[in-house]
Structure 1
Amino acid sequence: MVRLAERCGLPKLAGEHVQLPASKDGTGAFPAAKLMSLVGGMAAGADSIDDMDRLRHGAMGRLFSGVRAPSTLRSFLRSFTHGHVKQLHAVARRFLHELARHTPLLPGADQAAYVDIDDTIRRTHGYAKQGAGYGYSKVKGLNALLGVVSTPLSAPVIAATRLRKGPSNSARGAAAFVAETIRTARACGASGLLVLRADSAFYGADVINACRALGARFSITMRMNASVKATIARIDEDAWTPIKYPQAVWDEEGQCWISDAEIAEIRYTAFTSKPKKQQVTARLIARRVKRLSAGTVPAGQRTLFDTWRYHAAFTDSPLALRDAERDHRRHAVVEQVVADVKNSGFAHAPSGHFQANAAWLALAALAHNLPRAAGALASAFHARATTATIRDRLINVPARLARSARRLTLHLPERWPWSEDFTQLFSTVHAPPAL
């Protein structure tokens, strides 16, 4: 992992862009070494500052130089201000571009790619945590906003992060965040069709117009307000088409799905209360699913007619109706990233200082993308595996360290089930650079 980070220029980027002020205690000195220690520790499984000691146990000190103590890293994080966190975001954007250039991180991005945004609450404890509060989930914590990039052939990677106060509205600053994520995706090779996907919390004129200004498409879940309900009610009954859905059955004779879910589309103009230039006319894709809950039907009776639950998405995707609706549902991939990050580096917001936690979130994103790139080099399976799987199979490999003739030799287990994948990764990362 460290070698891959070095070849993609992470230490150099950190040294060039992260400029902390000089202090008597030296907390801002050597930012590259300290950032590498933090990212390396997270890649190895650390989810708190004290866990960074795992890089200094046993013979690790003989393998890696420049590893800082947890107390040093804690002081380093506390010295961050909002401006320094923005510098770290710049490092993360450039590093993702280098990862995409050196590894098959986003295959097929020149044809089609997707940007997914979502926010989550990181639960915190204690009364002294800066910025903590009760948000939409009624849980006390900090609000983390993630921007994710993926392709139909790749697993998602994190392109942008923001840490916000716990009570923050989901859509706060979303337009600028979407613009940053789209620019990062373009820099990583997403030169073809690029679609922003989001849930109804981000349904707003500013978000959609930010997409259009940068040449990206959008597919956003709509709030079921009176206008949307009235528009769906105007859809002709013959326009509804069954789709593949859980428990659907394919009818060979009729060449169609027998399903409890159907879709249709209609033109819709959104944000009519805003100035004309902010109004958007595009496709309203509606999906309806039969209400099968026993609570909606009295015991011992059957329904006289079907009732439906409706879901609506607003999109300007050029894809056919079935493909556009299916792609919109695949926005759920962002939940996988949220769960992965909260099960890895962002399992905690370890500092009482808000900006330290904001820097920690940005580093957690770096530590998520780095193993993802390593997995893409190792095998097709690891290219789509979770961070925990990559860590267990390719990073936390037991080894015995021996010294002979002033050389260090690592003796790895002979029957390690994933030795071929590890060897493939090791050989690729340590190969001489191309001329």
Structure 2
Amino acid sequence: MQVSHKPSALSVSFDEPNLVSAAGLLPVMTLARDAGLQELADQWLSVPTDKGANPGLKVVSLVAGMVAGADSIDDMALLRHGGMKRLFTACYAPSTLGSFLRAFTFGHVRQLDAVASRFLASLAARAPLLGSPATEDFVFVDLDDTIIEVHGYQKQGSGYGYSGVRGLNALLATVSTKDTAPVILAQRLRRGGTNSARGAKRLITDALSTLTRTHAGGQVLLRADSAFYGHASVSAALAGGAQVSVTVRMDPAVKRAIAGIPETAWKTIEYTDALFDETTNTWISKAEVAEVPFTAFSSRKPAEQITGRLIVRRIPELNRKASEGQPTLFDTHRHHAFFTTVDTNFLDTVTTDKTHRKHAIIEQVNADLKDSALAHMPSGVFAANSAWLVAAVMAYNLTRAAGLLAAGPFGKARTATIRRKLINIPARIATSARKIRLHLPEAWPWQRPWHNLFDHLYPPPQPA
């Protein structure tokens, strides 16, 4: 799929309403072209037979369809409707794209991973995906997996995982800063019944390598839940130059460390239903936090042990008291602990706890993907679905970059919002003096952000 015109051959008019084409796809795919998506796919992909011919154009077509809202192979037909062929060429049929995906093997999926990594770095050079973090700021890499539900028994690799839902397991690593929304650094599709931490070491290494290509700056902090609390994952993050903040399981060593925290060490924190007392300048809350020095993986060889801090948040066991119908002789608490290697000089106890809880931002990315291209796994072939996941990630990152260039409320908007307001735009295509003119809706509320995006990609000519 290619943009069928030169940048100087298109002008835009907002003076007439009417319908036909998803005109918003034009600047987004121009951004993909400028970032070299087609060239990267042609360079890295070696899918065999005639099914793998012109891999760059086919990958661009898949990404374009997902950006426009496709969540299945059949939905790729939207690239050929209305006036789309006036703006784009080489729009492949859905059957051709399906055959292309089914020709993938695991090795070809890894080649597509390399394309996605370099494509993200190229996008970061054209849009402020991570802003400009200062040396003392943190760049947050979040790691998590999610189950993509499937139906029927013909999906290769499907199974029942920890959620009790039949599906395939997608492992994702995202990156964000305090001022930017997350983009996806690395991805991997796995069998539905796989252990969450399986392959996490390699994914962390790939994610941190991709992050290095973006030249983000700042200090890198990897956040993850207890499923990834293991020596392989933590050591891979440290070897890649990142600090870690990982929820721990309540094993005997962790319980002993918590029992040794003195009562005077607990600090009240802002939590659910907390109130701020201006007189004492403190939070009135039942949640408290404390920390203690901790050596993770103490059962391993001394050279493999990792020292850091154990941050513990405790909350009263209110439900137990209510069920028993009478107060207890002493307070009982639920404890939530995580291990971090961040020095206390950078983040104190309370701030470290608050920072770790923001790991939940990756759940928004999971929901966003399932609201678009990952609503379905379109093929019965596992490798085809793996390639589909990588294309979905590239479409997500491309949409996020377009939203940043459009500015305004779209810098942190969900990709579904960007798609609805900036991409799926009704327009009428006209030709005058060998120029293509798009007539977009009159009094359109998001005219200025669309112009911002368009002007970034097609700067207006400067007067002589």
TM-score range relative to shorter protein: over 0.9
**4+ residue stretches of structure 1 with deviation over 4 A?**
none
1:393 corresponding residue in structure 2: 421
More deviation, 104-113/237-246 = 104-113
Unmatched runs of 5 consecutive residues or more in structure 1 = none
Per-residue deviation at 1:302?
A: 4.2
Does residue 424 in structure 1 map to residue 463 in structure 2?
no
Identical amino acids, percent of aligned pairs: 53
Conservation of the 8 A alpha-carbon contact between 1:108 and 1:151: no
Q: How many Å apart are 1:304 and its aligned residue?
A: 4.5
Q: Counterparts in 2 of 1:59-138, with a 5 A limit?
A: 59-111=83-135, 112-138=138-164
Q: How many residue pairs are counted as aligned between the two chains? A: 430
Q: Quickly say closer, same or farther: Cα 1:391–1:226, change in 2 above 3 A.
A: same
> Does 1:322 pair with 2:350?
yes
Q: Scaled by the length of structure 1, what TM-score is found? A: 0.96
Q: Quick one: which amino acid aligns to residue 70 of structure 1?
A: P
Contact 1:285 1:314 in 2 (8 A): yes
SS of structure 1 residue aligned to 2:96: helix
Aligned to 2:165: 139
Q: Which amino acid letter does the alignment assign opposite residue 363 of structure 2?
A: E
Would you say the 8 A contact 1:3–1:430 is kept in 2?
no
List aligned pairs for 1:226-305, cutoff 5 A. 226-293=252-319, 296-298=321-323, 301-305=326-330
Shift of 1:347: 1.0
Quote the residue 1:309 is aligned against: 334
1:363 and 2:388 are equivalent in the alignment: no
Moved more, 354-363 or 380-389: 380-389
Residues 1:180 and 2:199 aligned together: no
CA distance in 1, matches of 2:311, 2:223: 14
- The AA in structure 1 aligned to 2:115 is V
Alpha carbons 2:109, 2:386 under 8 Å: kept: yes
Choose the corresponding residue for 1:3, options 16, 30, 46.
30
Q: Which has the higher contact order (CA 8 A, sep 6+)?
A: 2
The alpha-carbon distance between structure 1 residues 110 and 78, as it changes in their structure 2 partners (threshold 3 A), is farther
Question: What is the Cα-based RMSD across aligned positions, in Å?
Answer: 1.6
Query: How far is 1:303 from its partner?
Result: 4.8
Separation of aligned partners in 1, 2:334 and 2:265 = 17
Give the corresponding residue for 1:211.
Answer: 237
| SS of residue paired to 1:155 | strand
Change (3 A) 1:340 1:155: same
Cα distance in 1 for residues equivalent to 2:317 and 2:298 = 32
User: Within 1, Cα distance between the matches of 2:264 and 2:385?
Assistant: 53
Matched, 1:52 2:69: no
8 Å CA contact retained: 1:108, 1:152: no
Once the two structures are superposed, what CA deviation does each residue of 1:26-81 show, in whole Å capped at 9, x if it has no partner? 21101111111100000000000000011111111111111100000000000111
Q: Could you tell which deviates more after superposition, 116-125 or 188-197?
A: 188-197
The SS at the match of 1:274 is coil
Task: Provide the TM-score with structure 2 as the length reference.
Answer: 0.90
Question: What is aligned with 2:187?
Answer: 161
